Amino acid sequence: MAKKTRKHADDLSAASKLAVDATQRVTEVVQAMHTTIGSGPGVLGQPLSGPLKLVNGLVYGSIRGVTRLVGKTIEQVLSTLAPLLGESTPGPERDAVQAALNGVIGDHLAQTKNPLAIEMSLRHEGHALTLDRESLRAAFPQATGKVLVLVHGSSMNDLQWARQGHDHGARLARELGFTPLYLHYNSGLHVSQNGRAFDALLDRLVAAWPVPVTSLTLLAHSMGGLVCRSAAHVGAGHPWRRTLTRLVTLGTPHHGAPLERGGNWIEFLLGVSRYSAPLATLAKLRSAGVTDLRFGNLLDEDWTGQDRFEKSQGDPRTPVPLPEGVECYAVAATTSLAGAKRLLGDGLVPVDSALGRHEDRARSLTLPPSHQHIVHGSNHLDLLNRPEVFERLVAWLAG
């Protein structure tokens, strides 16, 4: 099945829309800083605040108006030039850039209906699958009942499972008879939003699969593990859930990632001073998916009705156990070499978080030792192609 082509004008239109949004946002920041600094120290009573706000309102209002006009003009020009710009099949470079953009501001892209927002789909060889029996039979003429779905991490896409000539899914297909499919999703959305969408997608997949599904295995990297756990939780009792036999997570921040918690503190510190406070809005450009990584949110109630940028007081999550009746495994990477007294994380995720360990027993995933593995001298992305990881996958999934 050939990949769908994409009009170049559509990409340019989406990029121009994003540029207009960015210009508007930066204009708001500059206006706020101009007003604050120009008003003088608070102890002086800010005597110029009234006139200054009026002038600033006129000046920056004009800038925003011109920006909107430019955006509309670009749209009109592109609609005229669309037949001349042509179209082509998107390549891995474009997919990688789009995935990174979705990871950082994917929620904004979805809310503004920007064409660059990724719509969740199951893919095979880089193109979206149509989930009906005939289409799946044509895509997988040698389909087996052992279905493997690979779920990528934040700011990545399905094609990036292939790294340095290795793809866990392709190798597991050859050696253990799995039929691999790859999830493609907007990692900037809340984990729980992607979890619900994934739940619905898996129900459709299992119902339309060309042969009876004897086992469904989910293999997830990084954020993908949170999406899988969220889907398994919300999908309890659904048809696909009864076929789920194994879940393997690679470097998943089950209990969050320090980098996002650090970003939360930076945002708080910027807001301490009224002069730096406008800059704190730039920290709020990061997506809902990114802020979910602070503690590893899985459910709607972990974020609904809350300011996700507010400085966190402890871990507010609702504890979610591993899916019942499913064999679960976890691999953690550490940049430390074997024998080190203290194990560092993989550059993004601490070892304890990746293995589901937590000082609060209610939150700990309590995986048995035989279902855990630590890869030494490895970083977060190395989990995608390290031979040691693949050997462990074969050992766990061969049964």
Q: What is the pLDDT of residues 58-108, one digit of tens each?
A: 443 543 444 454 445 435 443 554 454 355 455 677 788 788 878 878 898
Residue 128 shares a structural domain with residue 173: yes
The conformation of residue 4, written as its DSSP 8-state character, comes to: P
Q: Classify burial at 237, counting beta carbons within 10 Å of its beta carbon; exposed 0-12, middle 13-18, buried 19 or more.
A: exposed
Residue 160 shares a structural domain with residue 16: no
Low-confidence ranges of the chain (pLDDT < 70): 1-91, 260-285, 312
pLDDT at res. 258: 84
**C-alpha to C-alpha distance for 364 and 358, rounded to whole angstroms:** 5
Report yes or no on 367 lying in a domain: yes
Residue 38 shares a structural domain with residue 175: no
What total of structural domains would you count in the chain? 2
The model's pTM: 0.79
What residue numbers bound the domain in which 133 lies?
121-256+317-397
Burial 248-287 (b: 16+ CB within 10 A, else e): bbbbbbbbbbebbeebbeebeebbeeeeeebbbbebeebb
pLDDT at res. 3: 54
Residue 25 shares a structural domain with residue 69: yes
Residue 161 shares a structural domain with residue 241: yes
Nearest Cα to 308, choosing from 283, 288, 285? 288
Report yes or no on 98 lying in a domain: no
pLDDT at res. 200: 98
Report yes or no on 29 lying in a domain: yes
CA dihedral 98, 100, 101, 106 (to 10 degrees): 100
> 88 has which bridge partners?
6
Residue 60 shares a structural domain with residue 136: no
354 within 8 A of 329, measured Cβ to Cβ: no
pLDDT at res. 264: 56
Residue 171 shares a structural domain with residue 25: no
Q: What is the pLDDT of residues 157-209, one digit of tens each?
A: 999 999 999 999 999 999 999 999 999 999 999 999 999 999 999 999 999 99
